[in-house]
């Protein structure tokens, strides 16, 4: 089975935002709730401090979002291979990747693990190196076929059941 993919900056940004949700959004929201509760429980002298701290926390939250955006943009722009049309060929024995400036293959037994989420197959070659394969380029039958190949080759995987 062969699938041609192209990862856009928007795809890459959304992937990184969704996988950094706790760091980017949840922590500042918890902190804002904490400051809000303390603000209403504080006397008049401490309320001014709490207002100031809340404003600085909001500024910090905006800074984190802007910094994340530009960091992801820099990472995406510095990796020309990820911006190419990449053809993945999945066979019983191996995975072949072909781009405009590269080609290569690796066997299923060299795959560290596979994670599947709603929008991606993440094929890890090591604990920190992965191929990001967008599912939007697959048909339903191809998704089922890839899951079967992963199971057949006994790759450590976290796959969806849909």
Residue spans of the domains in the chain: they are 8-78, 82-158
Pairing of strands 103-107, 157-158: unpaired
Contact assessment for residue 162 and residue 117, using Cβ atoms and an 8 Å cutoff: no
| Exposure string over 15-50, b if 16+ CB within 10 A, otherwise e | bbeeeeeeebeeebeebeeebeeeeeeeeeeeeeeb
CATH class of 82-158: mainly beta
Give the pLDDT confidence of 28-54 residue by residue, as tens digits. 677 777 766 666 665 555 666 666 666
Q: Does the CA dihedral 96-104-12-65 come out positive or negative?
A: positive
Tens-binned pLDDT, residue by residue, of the chain (162 aa): 999 999 999 999 989 888 776 666 677 677 777 766 666 665 555 666 666 666 777 787 788 888 888 999 999 999 999 899 999 999 999 999 999 999 999 999 999 999 999 999 999 999 888 999 999 999 999 999 999 999 999 999 999 887
């Amino acid at each position: 089975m062969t699938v041609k993919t192209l990862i856009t900056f928007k795809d890459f940004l959304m992937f990184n935002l969704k996988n950094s949700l706790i760091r980017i959004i949840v922590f500042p929201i918890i902190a804002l709730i904490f400051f809000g509760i303390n603000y209403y429980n504080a006397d008049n002298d401490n309320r001014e401090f709490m207002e100031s701290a809340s404003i600085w926390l909001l500024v910090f939250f905006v800074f984190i979002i802007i910094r994340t955006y530009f960091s992801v943009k820099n990472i995406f722009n510095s990796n020309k291979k990820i911006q190419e049309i990449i053809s993945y060929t999945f066979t019983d024995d191996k995975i072949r990747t072909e781009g405009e400036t590269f080609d290569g293959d690796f066997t299923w037994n060299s795959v560290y693990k596979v994670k599947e989420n709603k929008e991606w197959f993440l094929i890890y070659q090591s604990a920190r190196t992965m191929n990001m394969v967008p599912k939007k380029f697959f048909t339903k039958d191809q998704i089922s076929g890839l899951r079967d190949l992963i199971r057949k080759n006994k790759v450590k995987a976290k796959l969806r059941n849909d």
